[in-house]
Amino acid sequence: MDYSLIQSIWTVVVMVLFIGIVIWAWSSKRKERFDEAANIPFADDDMKPDYKIPEEKTNG
């Protein structure tokens, strides 16, 4: 086995892995879970922040 054969095998392995991840991510089974995760930043929190923003002091 020379280096070019190992490199070719590695390229095929990585390509198959990439295609597998893409199929997994775009599968319809995962859509509901990914949609839910995508909306996490927009979820409203009922809690108020624990800190108070200080007011600016002005001269006058």
Does 55 map to a domain? no
**pTM of the model as a whole:** 0.54
pLDDT at 53 over 80: no
Does 45 map to a domain? no
Does 47 map to a domain? no
pLDDT at 41 over 60: yes
Does 31 map to a domain? yes
Listed in sequence order, the DSSP H helices in 1-60 are: 3-26, 28-38
pLDDT at 30 over 90: no
Secondary structure element (H or E) that encloses residue 29, with its range: helix 28-38
Does 56 map to a domain? no
Does 59 map to a domain? no
Does 28 map to a domain? yes
- Radius of gyration (Cα) for the chain, nearest Å? 25
Query: What is the average pLDDT across 9-31?
Result: 93
Domain count, the chain: 1
Of 8-12, 23-27, 28-32, give the lowest mean pLDDT range: 28-32
pLDDT at 33 over 80: yes
CA 8 to chain CA centroid, Å, is 30
Does 27 map to a domain? yes
Domain extent at residue 7: 3-36
